Structure 1
Amino acid sequence: MKLSELCRQITTDNSLLLPPGHKLGARLVCPEYSKSTQEVKTYPLPPSDRIFALCWNIDRSGILHSTMCPAPRNFCFRLPFDDGEKTQLHTHDYMELTYVVEGEFRQRILGRDITFARGDLCLIDKNCLHQDYLFSEPAVILFLGIANDMFTEIMDENITTQKIIAFLQSALLKQKDLQQYLHFRPGSDAASELEECLFLLIKELYGGDTGTSYIRKGLLLRIFRILSTKYEFSLSKEQRITMNWIVFEEISEYIQNHYKNVTIQELVDVFHFQEDYFNRLIKSKTGLTYSAYLQQIRLEHAANLLAASRKGIDEIAETVGYHNKGYFYKIFQEKYGMTPSKYRKSKR
């Protein structure tokens, strides 16, 4: 069974239907009733249940089938809606991770309309003002509500790369007054791996047995691991510049520490960005390509060694990563306007 099939199954069991107007229905989907009111959705479960899921299954006839799990008893809720209708403007006091299982999904986040395609995810911080669009095109949307202490534990497990830890911990955890979201897009084959974890998580949330709390946390750890290594993410406009500097500083520090043998492929493996991203980022911050930036760092280290050590020039060339001595002499003279030996004499 696929994730989409599981979501349809748990949202369309007519034997479990809630009656129209049931108060729990408003928890699942609340159509817009005021353009000025802002709802605050509180975490709906006891502290022992630190993850929950809402599932929407939208059909062509303009009916939204939905459910929430875990719940005291399994149920389904059915809501007819008008095409293009929105939910009430709202925030959460917890983290929400949205996954588009099928179709498209549009949200208005911080006053901006964003369309998410199949396989996309959106992580919305608490206090981030948003609302959801309802269209009568088939779609299956999965919302994971994550209690704040659980999210903190996930971050503390250090299962993400430093770029995500740096951003999430500073922007989402420490600066709680900032309204933030992250839009994740899958790399090749990433969606199938993520859906396998989501499928198992929904099964545990819908009817978990002994030890289910540990299994749920483990699956959520895997989900964030996949997000950190196989998904690209974009930032809200307010944090893009800050985030670029965070990533640049990490990349620059890594190159400074490994300048002798570092390669562009090594950066791809460590930071999980595509190769051309490094050139674009370094160019925007330094005006240099990756190769020119690395060469500049190597030559600066060579100059420092010439001035402060007694190592031979050939040994220094090897130390900073140049095995072709003639090439080293050539680029050093181009940068400093003199040979390495003259540079050493000038500094003494």
Structure 2
Amino acid sequence: MSSLLELCKQFTEGAASHLPSEHAIGKRLVCPEYSKSEQEVKTYPLINNDKLFLVCWNFTEGGQLLSTMKPSPLSFCYHGSFQHGDKTQLHTHDYLELAYIVEGKFSQRILGRDITFTKGDLYLIDKNCIHQDFLLDQPAVILFLGLSNDIFDEIMVEQISAKKMISFLQSALLKQKSLKQYLHFKPIGTVTTQMESHLISLLNELDLNDPGSRFICKGMLIRIFLLLSTRYEFSLSSEQRRTMNWFMFEEISDYIKDHYATVTIRDLVNTFHFQEDYFNRLIKDKTGLTYSGYVQQIRLSAAEHMLFHTQKSIDDIIETVGYRNKGYFYKIFTEKYGATPSVLRRSHT
């Protein structure tokens, strides 16, 4: 399967029709600055039931820009030439823009502030946010996703039933977006591979654009925003960050309590997608215990409950709470409760 970079170059370099810079479609995709004060309003370009479109910019050596849009009734590639320091006209959208830096670097002036994004970064710009793009004289590939307000709202609604930690992050995202009008996402760990896999699927569906594509694209967008909410750094206030950490701890704690007999730290990594040391740091911060100490505490509490509230034998209880070494269980149980399980059970009757 082609990489995302290869696919972007394929779509921008191999399209059926090459359009010159003066073509109307080209001016729609890239409008060089013609006024320091005027502002363009870019309206949603698609009709019918399409709620998502994608524009790819492929900057080559010497200030050449190749660009295309999916879906489009015409397979095309726009050609334009630009000088170092050229910018697009100041503009806003009546839709949201989510961009991914496939290769190189890319800069924008957003609300008067110059921001540089690097390979693997994403950014989300709210509708009506004034910005302009710096046109490059060096190789870079940028993907822009245009999201109608309808599909963005649908994606957020789909996530209402998600875990509270996810829901919190998404509400924080929406709050920050409304305050700053843009969000800058930086990848954590190796998430870029997963994100690019989703973007490849999305780009191929937008290129296919058959009757089922819009449903598949919506599902891919939900996956993309789920990754953004959990595997990317984005700006939160210190209060929001503290609240997020508590929600994260509660989610992890609930998971451990539901799987205490068999849980491993690798299970947490696979479920929550953080590095192992993150769980130790978070649990230590909230409980004063290490991960293994916290699991042990939950197992012993479960064993104590079974001693007092069930007729299970002590051997069955030991096995149920996840211990195979009876001697070790007796040691840690006695250290915690000051008595063996049988003595503690008799004292309770």
Matches within 5 A, 1:1-348: 2-9=6-13, 13-14=17-18, 16-19=19-22, 25=27, 28-29=30-31, 31=33, 42-46=43-47, 48-71=49-72, 77=78, 80-84=81-85, 92-107=93-108, 113-117=115-119, 120-122=120-122, 124=124, 126=126, 132-154=133-155, 162=163, 165-167=166-168, 169-172=170-173, 177-178=178-179, 179=181, 181=183, 182-184=185-187, 186-187=190-191, 190=194, 193-194=197-198, 196-204=200-208, 208=209, 212-222=210-220, 224-225=222-223, 228=226, 232-238=231-237, 239-341=240-342, 343-344=344-345
Contact 2:30-2:88 at 8 Å conserved across structures: no
**Structure 1 residues 333 and 82: alpha-carbon distance in aligned structure 2, compared to 1, 3 A threshold:** farther
Q: Distance in 2 between matches of 1:246 and 1:193?
A: 29
Partner deviation per Cα, 1:279-308 (whole Å, 9 max, x = no partner): 233333333322122112222223333444
State whether residues 282 and 290 of structure 1, in contact with CA within 8 Å, keep that contact through their aligned partners in structure 2: yes
Question: Given the superposition, is the C-alpha separation of residues 340 and 176 from structure 1 closer, same or farther in structure 2, using an over 3 Å criterion?
Answer: same
The answer on whether the counterparts of 2:94 and 2:128 sit within 8 Å (CA) in structure 1 is: no
Aligned-residue offset at 1:330: 1.7
1:99 alignment partner, SS class:
strand
| Aligned 8 A contact 2:107 2:117 in 1 | yes
SS at match of 1:44: coil
Could you tell me how far apart the structure 1 residues matched to 2:255 and 2:26 are?
A: 51
| 1:232-289 CA distance string (max 9 Å, x none) | 3222233544433333222211111111222222223333334333223333333332
- Report the TM-score, using the length of structure 2 for normalisation: 0.74
Q: Cα deviation per residue 1:310-337 (whole Å; 9 max; x = unaligned)?
A: 5444433333222322212222233344
Asked whether the equivalents of residues 180 and 236 of structure 1 are also in contact (C-alpha less than 8 Å), the reply is: no
Q: State the distance in 1 between where 2:143 and 2:270 align.
A: 30
**Cα distance in 2 between the residues matched to 1:270 and 1:194:** 19
Task: Please say which of residues 241-250 and 173-182 is displaced more in the overlay.
Answer: 173-182
TM-score (norm 1): 0.74
Distance (Å, rounded) in 2 between the aligned partners of 1:308 and 1:90: 68
Whole-Å separation in 2 of the counterparts to 1:286 and 1:33: 58
One-letter code of the match for 1:297?
I
User: 2:198 & 2:278 partners in 1: Cα distance?
Assistant: 24
Q: CA deviation at 1:19?
A: 1.6
Q: 1:106 touches 1:115 (CA, 8 Å); kept in 2?
A: yes
- CA displacement, residues 123-158 of structure 1 (integer Å, 9 cap, x when unaligned): 516359565444321111111112233234445667
Q: Secondary structure at the match of 1:237?
A: coil
Distance, in Å, in 2 between the alignment partners of 1:109 and 1:324 is 61
Length, aligned pairs only: 336
Q: State the identity as a percent.
A: 47
Aligned equivalents of 1:298, 1:324: Cα separation in 2? 14
Over aligned residue pairs, what C-alpha RMSD do you find? 4.2
- Give the unaligned 5+ runs of structure 1: none
